[in-house]
C-alpha cells in the first residue's frame, strides 16, 4: 500500500503571534512525523511518500470565495489587519493558506489518479471560512477549494466531508449548503457552549441540499464510547446510503481531553477508531479513496501521537498509543444526553434518509 503525506515547511509561518491560541509550531512536521518515519510496522505494510505542495491557483480559490472577499484577504496579506477580533492577519499569511489548499488538492489528485491508496495532509484546515467570510483563525477554506477542484476536474457527484473537529465547520457547511453533491456530516460540541455558535441539528441544508448537511451536536464531556455510538447509530448508516465516490475526513486533536479550549473527553485510541471507521467505509464504498486533512496540535507531545493515530487508524494497523497525560477523574457521565441527541437527529433526518 502506498500512502502520501502532503506537507510544506512554510506551514509553520501560519502564526498569529505571541499570546494567540494558534501558533505555527502546532503544525511542525519535524515533530509530527517523528513516530511515522522509521516505524517498522508502517514500513512493513506501506510505502510512505512525502509530497511538497505548491500554492493553489487563484481560479481555484475563486471557485469557492467571492472576488470581494478574496481582494479583502489579499489586502490584509500585504498590510496586515483583522478579519475578526480572534483572527488577525499578519503579512504573508494568505500565502501560507494558499499552500494549505494546494496541499489538499495535491493529496486528493494523487489519490484520484491512483498514485496513492490513502492521502494525508498535516495543516491547520480552514473550515471556518465561508463563501464571503472568514474567522475562527481561518482565512480561506482549503477543504472546500479542494472539493470544488475535484468536482470540476474529476466529475465527482457524491463527496462526503466528515468534520470531526470539536468546533462546527460552519464555513464548509456554508459553501455546500445548497447541493446534494457534497454531504457534510459534522459532529461537534453543543454550539451553545462553543465557537462558532452554529451547527444545530435543525440546520439541514437548503433547496436541493436539504438533508445533505447533518449537524450532530453533543454535550461537553462526550467520551470515546459516546462518540462511537453516534457514529454507529447515525453516521455510518447515512454514509452507506449515500455511497460517496470520495471520503474526506477533516479534523485534529481538538477533542482530546487535554485540550482546554474544548470539553470533549476523547483519547488517542478514540481518534484511531474514528479514522479507522471511515477508512473501512472508503474501502467498502469508493475503492479506498480517503483523504484526511488536519492533525495539528497545541501540544508537542500530543502532535506526533495524534498523527500516528490518524495514519494507523486509516491503515487498520494496531499501534501503541500511550497517553502523554493522565485522564481527569470524576468526569460527568453524559451518555443519556448523547442518547437524546441521537434521537433528535434521527427525528429530524428521517424524512431525508431511509436508514434513520
Active site residues: 128
Burial of 18 (C-beta count, 10 Å sphere; 0-12/13-18/19+): exposed
Residue pair 6/51 in contact (Cβ under 8 Å)? The answer is yes
Pure H helices in 117-183: 142-154, 170-175
* Residue 92 Ramachandran class (φ > 0 left, ψ -120 to 50 alpha, else beta): left
Alpha-carbon gap, residue 256 to 268, rounded angstroms: 7
Q: How far apart are CA 21 and CA 217, in angstroms?
A: 23
How many CB atoms neighbour CB 193 within 10 A? 12
Among candidate residues 67, 76, 69, 93, the one with its CA nearest the CA of residue 12: 93
Strand, helix or coil for residue 10:
helix
How many Cα atoms are found within 13 Å in the side-chain-facing hemisphere of 121?
Answer: 32
Distances (CA, A) of 135 to 110, 171, 271, 325: 30, 9, 26, 31
Residues whose CB is less than 8 angstroms from the CB of residue 195 and which lie 6 or more positions away in sequence, other chains included: 86, 136, 167
d(CA 297, CA 302): 7
Cα 150–Cα 49–Cα 106 angle in degrees, nearest 5: 20
Report the DSSP beta bridge partners of residue 88.
82
Q: Which residue has the cell 479506498?
A: 288
Q: CA–CA separation, 174 vs 192, rounded Å?
A: 19
Amino acid at each position: 500500500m502506498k500512502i502520501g503525506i502532503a506537507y510544506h515547511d512554510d506551514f509553520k509561518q501560519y502564526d498569529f503571534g505571541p499570546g494567540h491560541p494558534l501558533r505555527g509550531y502546532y503544525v511542525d512536521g519535524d515533530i509530527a512525523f517523528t513516530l511515522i518515519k522509521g516505524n517498522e510496522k508502517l514500513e512493513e505494510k506501506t510505502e510512505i511518500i512525502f509530497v511538497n505542495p505548491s500554492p493553489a491557483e487563484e481560479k481555484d480559490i475563486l471557485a469557492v470565495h467571492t472576488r470581494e472577499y478574496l481582494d479583502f484577504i489579499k489586502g490584509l496579506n500585504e498590510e496586515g489587519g483583522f478579519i475578526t477580533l480572534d483572527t488577525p492577519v499578519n503579512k504573508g499569511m494568505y500565502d501560507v493558506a494558499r499552500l494549505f489548499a494546494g496541499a489538499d488538492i495535491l493529496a486528493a489528485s494523487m489519490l484520484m489518479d491512483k498514485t496513492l491508496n490513502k492521502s494525508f495532509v498535516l495543516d491547520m484546515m480552514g473550515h471556518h471560512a465561508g463563501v464571503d467570510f472568514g474567522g475562527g483563525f481561518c482565512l480561506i477554506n482549503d477543504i472546500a477549494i479542494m472539493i470544488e477542484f475535484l468536482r470540476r476536474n474529476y466529475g465527482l457527484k457524491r463527496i462526503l466531508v466528515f468534520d470531526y473537529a470539536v468546533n462546527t465547520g460552519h464555513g464548509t457547511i456554508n459553501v455546500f449548503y445548497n447541493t446534494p453533491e457534497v454531504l457534510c456530516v459534522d459532529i461537534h460540541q453543543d454550539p451553545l457552549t462553543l465557537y462558532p455558535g452554529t451547527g444545530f441539528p435543525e440546520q439541514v441544508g437548503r433547496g436541493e441540499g436539504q438533508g445533505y448537511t447533518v449537524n450532530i451536536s453533543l454535550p461537553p464531556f462526550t467520551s470515546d464510547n459516546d462518540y462511537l455510538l453516534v457514529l454507529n447509530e447515525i453516521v455510518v448508516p447515512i454514509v452507506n446510503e449515500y455511497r460517496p465516490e470520495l471520503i474526506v475526513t477533516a479534523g485534529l486533536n481538538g477533542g482530546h481531553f487535554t485540550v482546554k479550549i474544548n470539553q470533549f473527553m476523547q483519547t488517542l485510541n478514540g481518534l484511531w477508531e474514528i479514522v479507522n471507521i471511515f477508512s473501512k467505509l472508503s474501502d467498502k464504498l469508493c475503492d479506498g479513496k480517503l483523504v484526511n486533512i488536519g492533525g495539528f496540535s497545541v501540544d508537542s507531545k500530543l502532535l506526533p501521537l495524534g498523527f500516528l493515530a490518524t495514519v494507523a487508524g486509516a491503515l487498520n494497523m494496531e499501534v501503541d498509543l500511550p497517553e502523554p497525560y493522565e485522564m481527569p477523574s470524576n468526569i460527568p457521565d453524559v451518555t443519556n444526553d448523547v442518547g437524546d441527541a441521537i434521537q433528535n437527529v434521527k427525528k429530524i433526518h428521517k424524512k431525508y434518509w431511509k436508514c434513520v
